[in-house]
A and B are shown apart, each in its own frame.
Chain A
Amino acid sequence: MDLQNTDCILIMGSNFAEAHPVGYRFVMRARERGAEVIHVDPRYTRTSATATSYARIRAGSDVAFLGGLVRHVLNSERWNGDAFFREYVTHYTNASTILKADFRDASELGGLFSGWNEAERRYDRETWQPAERAGSRAHDGGPDEATDDVQTSQSFGARAGNEASETVLRDPTLEHPQCVLQVLKRHFESYTPDVVERVTGIPAEQLIAIGDALLRNSGRERTSAIAYAVGWTQHTNGPHLISTAAILQLLLGNIGRPGGGIQALRGHATIQGSTDIPTLYDLLPGYLRMRNDTEAHDTRRGYVASEAARGGLWAHAEAYLASLLRAWFGPAATPENEGGFQLLPRITGDHSHLPMFVKMHNGEVDGLFLMGQNPAVGGQNARFQRAALGRLKWLVVRDLFPIESATFWKESPEVVSGETSSESIDTEVFLLPAANVLEKEGSFTNTQRLIQWHHRAVEPPGDCRSDAWFVDQLWKRVRAHYAASDRPRDEPIRALTWDYPVSGPHGEPDIDCILREINGFRFDDSIERDWDARIEGAAARDRDALLRERWLAREQLATSTRLRDDGSTACGCWIYCGVHGDGNRAASRNPGDGWISPDWGFAWPSNVRMLYNRCSADPAGRPWSERKRYVWWDDEARRWVGADQPDFPVDKPPGETGRADAVGLDAHAGDAPFVMKDEGRAWLFFPQGLKDAPLPTHYEPWETPVANALYPKQSRNPLAGTFDVAGNAYHGVANARYPHVLTTYRLTEHHTGGGMTRWNTWLSELQPEAFVEIDERLAEELGVTSGDWVTVMTARGEADARAMVTRRLRPLWIGGRRVHQIGFPWHFGYSGVATGSAANDLVALVTEPNVSIHEGKALTCDIRRGRATRPNAAETRA
């Protein structure tokens, strides 16, 4: 909502208007207030049409472009001439930190950084660390670097390393050659407008014009914003893209200020919620890392040592963990099992989506629950994923309609064409009808961390049930199954609390009670035991009423600062603490001013609408300008005040210095706005966090039509995850057989794999079948006009659809040759009302090293006129 105040918004890696039309109202509002709206995208879309400027980029070259912007900013007169930028950067970022003398940048080492171990194909991050005063080390026995490269490193600020240490060398003049700002400058020095033009296809003048627009609209009086979506994330260097944007925004002083920031646009109603309280295998609620077999997580002490930081909010990781364990295991969390820690299962490796499906394909997975996902269409290399589903023993699909993942055994192209047969697929598929959003209550957490409650409008029809009902029923059966087991490995199942009352005609669990558990409550052992006794002794028909009564009696916590590590508090997700502090605040509905609207829903944490909003005031606590005033220090009241809840200790004066002996926020100075960070300052250089680079670096996509013009010796991410399995061959770099760039995307009219939309006739008439978008010149070369069938080919397979010949796509001039970009929406599949080839049949299994995201937005392909030789579902329709 704050986007409406921006003066300039750069939309990149996102088709904002088409994929997020409701949020786009704020962009339009900003535009009508005079903001520049810049869209950078491979395709001219409805976003480009409503933007004030558009630049056409080659898919997969975003870091080069953003790096060019960083370079342009750092070398600009404005940035070097306006004291604002220097003040912001010096105080609020780690720009002044001096790195170790033996750190070497990718520009010196041909695309790799110092510390690269070619034999083990991993980085030793020792040289990426800050230089320290000789002989001192802040806290010995800290994180053990050697262990953290093995698996995931998805750490959200914990294990911050040594940065908080007062022994770290700094140069506030930012002149030291090894200080972060100078390193950054050197790193991006080669990203000149001309090189960027050769890499991205964006003319040098446009890069400069966009850089100037951002500079013009940043500073004390003005702010710029950046918005992105999966067009940035789904790359083998996805985190690099977002990091470059973060660096750009920090340099321009646009973080934590109204109209600034980076907006990660979410593609589903509550995908933010499903990372906060994650559906991810390696995270616990509130971004605590999952207990990991490959790390020092044997004991709770070890876990805390590796996950907690000294400074910032992660200092209290143990309180968050202890409260979570209390919420999960209740009285079963005892000192003997380390407050329940020993009941936590451990992960033993990468169980993210693609590795899981590879295992499934190998016959190593017996069963799968699919709830709200349609991998038979939406999965990368969907054909491979369908084959994997066919090697399960059983598969439970809960969805609104009989989606492709439930019908693959009879309707998939492979079965229809006779390549395989229904008889040869032994998977037993259970299709269970699910209730839709209007038929159940619960909460959504949206892009801006706003938790909003929705009520049930009608009871679900027939046998349709909510997901909560299903999980409740499933769990009760699982628990009964293991009730008599005395095996230690079954102990967590017996110990888990499950005290949600059910009500209504279908016995739906009470979601309000679940929200109360997420919010957190004071846990008093004796009171809880009394309740347990009362409930156990009660007649079966009174149990639900008593369970609810207990929930109402539990004292809800108002804020996460009240969480303790001694088991006296229980909290399902520490960052959500406060959502039910004083009634269900997610359900509050006061429209307010339409900007901050503090009483509309609840934003985590603590109803803060803008994170790090301490940045909206200068180091001395004064607003940077009247126009951009947001949160500031009121010297008389001795507190932070403003439009929003300050994301900062409200009574900490701006001039306070951090105490060396303190932990948590007390260790931070009064001008350290980044409360999640160890030292309270944002990172322009990442000594920790990423496995594959301490600075964002342009690597070409795994399949690319050209070699890397910036680092000719290192075209691609050295740590990208590949899968050497049948049906998943890669094209490599500049493969003449696959000369075109292929990008997949969504349309306004459908949603993801189509499970909610392609069965709806109203949406299906708007986009009735799959199509492939090609530019006019390519169409001419192929002899194709709109409506003709074309077949797109990759090493994974073929997919055909009717061609849409359009001027919205145009070839680019890259590396001395004409490169065509082909667009293929990935919604379609073989079942439903709107059908067509699945674009994801063409996409390879390949992952990014840090977060295992796949690369679906940039690959290479070939195209020809006519139908696919492999018959697909579309043909049976025609």
Chain B
Amino acid sequence: MSEQRDVAAHAPRAGAAPLASIVDWERVGARQEAELTAGVRIEAGKRYGFFTDTTLCIGCKACEVACKQWNQLPAEEVDLVPLTYDNTRSFSATTWRHVRFVEQLDEQPDLQAIAKPWGWHGSEQWADPGSRWLMMSDVCKHCATAPCMEACPTGSIIRTEFDSVYVQQDICNGCGYCQVACPFGVIEVATETDGKAHKCTLCYDRLRDGLEPACAKSCPTDSIRFGVVDQLLEEARVRVADLRARGVTAYLYGSGGPLEDDCDTSALGGLNCFFLLIDRPEVYNLPAVPQRPSERTLRGLVAGMITALAIGVGVGFTLRRDAR
């Protein structure tokens, strides 16, 4: 029996790869790989993120696989009712990129009664109310004011020199409070394995070595674009204007300010990873107005203590000995 390829090698430990030391690019005078692949130079102190243009996504899920491969995240046991081609369905401690398939297909008309073409978009699909299948590669938003980071009681979740939100695995105590704080269902505690919280690192280790994140690099249609957030925003606004000129109802989700009447991510100070969408956020399983839970904390704690004291005093009053 000859030695075989180890199948189990594809089920490695959870967690990010060890950090490599940062290269002094100025000193070595070399071009970073990211300059070739993403046209961006990665430097500490700048704000980096993703602009995900969902109208360019073709649903290949290369980003999901590239993420798992680079970060050595084990696959999940999937045994689901096949509703669509999306079998991973949601984020988890080991799924940091997730591509959603939103099938919006019209109800089937009665064939014998058809009077006009169906199963057909006409020549202008964009403007046509016919069937469509939206695809969206979702990821941690790396919020400007990140609820997970604010919720973290240990200081494990930090903001890096690239303005990304990063979980330091050696400090995380697995309390799971970040998991309920996140308005996007991104971060999760790996209860079955190390009991710690995991999520997208914006490929911190790659960024330190001048490589763009694995998902963006693997995207064949440039639906996921990596870069400096301000530049990405500029690009994105041009793109939105272009699409609108073509009659597409596009808008940016997570661009910071209250761009839309009832879609507002400003409570989180904008998202470093933002999206171009063409339907309501809820269709993509995103909240229209994500809240910042910590806004309720200080107020709540003080109010709680004051009420507790009031209750105590009130109750204490009844405790007084009978003044007969």
Contacts and interface: CB of A to CB of B under 8 A. Distances in A.
Contacts of B106: 807
A527 interface: no
Which of A431, A759, A806 has most B Cβ within 10 Å? A806
B230 interface: no
Contacts of A32: 56
Nearest to A460: B5
Given A401-B7, A762-B69, A28 B83 contact: no
Interface string B133-157: 1110000000000000000000000
Contact of B124 (A47, A52, A205): A52
A759 B81 contact: no
Nearest to A204: B117
A407 to B, nearest CB: 12
Given A53-B125, A433-B4, A46 B119 contact: no
Contacts of B111: 811-813, 818
Contact of B105 (A44, A203, A763): A44
B269 interface: no
A432 B4 CA distance: 8
B222 interface: yes
A802 B78 CA distance: 14
Contact of B59 (A46, A402, A761): A46
Interface string B85-122: 10110000000000000010111100110101111111
B221 A25 contact: yes
Contacts of B125: 51-54
A408 interface: no
A206 interface: yes
A49 interface: yes
Contacts of A203: 114, 116-118, 120
B2 A433 contact: yes
A804 B82 contact: yes
Interface stretch (A480-488, A579-587, A713-721, A769-777): A769-777
A777 B109 CA distance: 10
Contacts of A24: 58, 220-221
Interface in B46-68: 56, 58-62, 64-65, 68
B121 A54 contact: yes
Nearest to A763: B65
Contacts of A786: 81-83
A865 interface: no
A400 B4 CA distance: 8
Contacts of B123: 36, 52-53, 209, 213
B220 A21 contact: yes
B295 interface: no
B74 A761 contact: yes
Interface in B2-35: 2-7, 10-11
A778 to B, nearest CB: 11
A22 B134 CA distance: 19
Interface stretch (A105-113, A416-424, A461-469, A650-658): A461-469
A437 interface: no
Which of B10, B80, B85 has most A Cβ within 10 Å? B85
Contacts of B122: 53, 209
A806 B58 contact: no
A762 B56 contact: no
Contact of B79 (A25, A401, A762, A768): A768
A807 B132 CA distance: 11
B117 A765 contact: no
Contacts of B194: none
A803 B61 CA distance: 22
A18 interface: yes
Nearest to B223: A28
Given A763-B65, A808-B103, A813-B112, A461 B59 contact: no
Contacts of A18: 58-60
Nearest to A759: B7
Contacts of A768: 78-80, 87
A91 interface: no
Given A25-B222, A28-B221, A462-B4, A46 B78 contact: no
Given A54-B119, A748-B60, A768-B87, A787 B5 contact: no
Nearest to B132: A49
A160 interface: no
B contact face: mostly helix, strand, loop, or mixed: loop
Contacts of A213: 123
How big is chain A's contact interface, by range?
Answer: 35 or more
B291 interface: no
A50 interface: yes
Contact of A766 (B65, B112, B117, B119): B65
Contacts of B105: 44, 806-808
B173 interface: no
B131 interface: yes
Nearest to A462: B3
A749 interface: yes
A760 interface: yes
Interface in A412-447: 431-433
Given A761-B74, A762-B75, A56 B119 contact: yes
Which of A205, A749, A760, A768 has most B Cβ within 10 Å? A768
Contacts of A49: 58-59, 132-135
Contacts of A209: 122-123
Given A52-B121, A768-B79, A786-B83, A402 B58 contact: no
B126 interface: yes
Contacts of A771: 82
Contacts of B135: 46, 49
Which of A206, A766, A810 has most B Cβ within 10 Å? A766
B221 to A, nearest CB: 5
A275 interface: no
Given A46-B59, A49-B133, A804 B83 contact: yes
B76 interface: yes
A813 B83 CA distance: 26
B140 to A, nearest CB: 19
Interface in A804-835: 804, 806-808, 810-813, 818, 833
A792 interface: no
Contacts of A433: 2-5
Interface in A105-145: none
B118 to A, nearest CB: 8
A763 B79 CA distance: 14
Interface string A164-205: 000000000000000000000000000000000000000101
A813 to B, nearest CB: 5
Contact of A762 (B3, B10, B103, B134): B10
Contacts of A749: 61, 85
A832 to B, nearest CB: 9
A766 B64 contact: yes
Contacts of B69: 762
Contact of A765 (B4, B60, B88, B103): B88
A402 B3 CA distance: 12
Contacts of A810: 108, 119
Contact of A802 (B58, B82, B114): B82
Interface in B153-177: none
Given A54-B121, A464-B5, A802-B82, 16 more contacts: A28-B58, A44-B131, A46-B135, A49-B59, A49-B133, A205-B116, A401-B5, A433-B4, A464-B3, A760-B10, A761-B74, A768-B80, A776-B108, A808-B103, A813-B112, A818-B111
Which 5 pairs between the two chains have the least Cβ-Cβ distance?
A462-B3, A787-B81, A49-B133, A807-B105, A761-B75
12 contacts: A28-B58, A44-B105, A49-B132, A213-B123, A401-B7, A433-B4, A462-B3, A463-B2, A763-B65, A768-B87, A807-B106, A813-B112
Interface of A: 17-18, 21-22, 24-25, 28, 32, 36, 44, 46-56, 203, 205-206, 209, 213, 400-402, 431-433, 461-464, 747-749, 759-768, 771, 775-777, 786-787, 802-804, 806-808, 810-813, 818, 833
